[in-house]
Amino acid sequence: MHIGIIGLGKMGNNMRDRLRKNGVQISGYDPNPAVTDVASLPDLVEALPTPRVVWVMVPSGKITDDVIHNLADVLSPGDIVIDGGNSRYTDDAIHAEFLANKKIKFIDCGVSGGIWGLENGYGLMAGGDAEDIATAMPIFDALRPDGPRDEGFVHAGPVGAGHYVKMVHNGIEYALMQAWAEGYELLDSRKDLVHDVTGAFKAWQRGTVVRSWLLELLVKALEEDPEFADIAGYVDDSGEGRWTVHEALDRAVPVPTISAAIFARFVSRQKDSPSMKAVAALRNQFGGHAVRKN
């Protein structure tokens, strides 16, 4: 199978490498000449066999809109566009309808795994027509973790379902990181009693009910900088946590923990907080997100 990918940043570049490692031929396009395989979007389309599959891995919003509109001008009927970025699920129906007018198919796919996906594989949440999903399944199989398919991939439903599931995933992620960060701050506040905060977290990595990959990443971050001295307690949000809360309000579903985690990030922008340093460190560990230095 030979596909195209647009966007070769932290995620896209690693995804290209994993696909190649697992036997999928891939041509990538990025405006950065240092990483791109082809010089232009038309060159990318020309390089692919028909029917073409093009994976879009660029920031959500206008950039994704522009790429999809540009693709519509150069792709052919029967081709498939997969939006693997963090688009809002409500945008998917708009993109699908726009492409359908030119008989181009559309799949939305939430992708989790951050900078570790190249090594560990990516959690994938897809939305779209079952026939289109089946066509793209070799791509999903190459990207997902080793092991049972249903533990790393889900065809969640029609167009929009993949990004909806990813939105809720990120809302949960916000809440889990906040819980770890608050636990860190409480332990760190009792240096008179707890002499090894890093060791306390490390001791939870086996046999406890709270063991998790986030815990492993927190231990890694603490071992690199036990007091987070080089990290400012300022935490950005990518938008998906907000979207989760908006959806919960629309559906009258109580999400107090996720909501509190979002508001805590806003607090981080008002003062230097130890717990927010922990959240910033975790985001850097799993996603390579930039941190503000003190």
Which are the catalytic amino acids? 166, 173
Nearest to 214 by CA among 240, 175, 246, 243: 175
Sequence-ordered alpha helix ranges (H) in the chain = 10-21, 41-47, 62-74, 89-100, 117-120, 130-143, 161-188, 197-203, 213-224, 240-251, 256-268, 274-287
CA distance 235 to 146: 32
CA distance 140 to 99: 22
CB 245 within 8 A of CB 259: yes
**CB-based burial of residue 157 (10 Å sphere; 0-12 exposed, 13-18 middle, 19+ buried)?**
middle
**CB-based burial of residue 252 (10 Å sphere; 0-12 exposed, 13-18 middle, 19+ buried)?**
exposed
CA distance 160 to 162: 6
CA 261 to chain centre: 18
First-to-final CA distance of the chain: 47
Kindly report the backbone phi and psi dihedral angles of residue 53, in degrees, each rounded to the nearest multiple of 5, phi listed first.
-125, 125
What is the number of alpha carbons within 13 Å of residue 237 lying toward its C-beta?
27
CA distance 242 to 233: 20
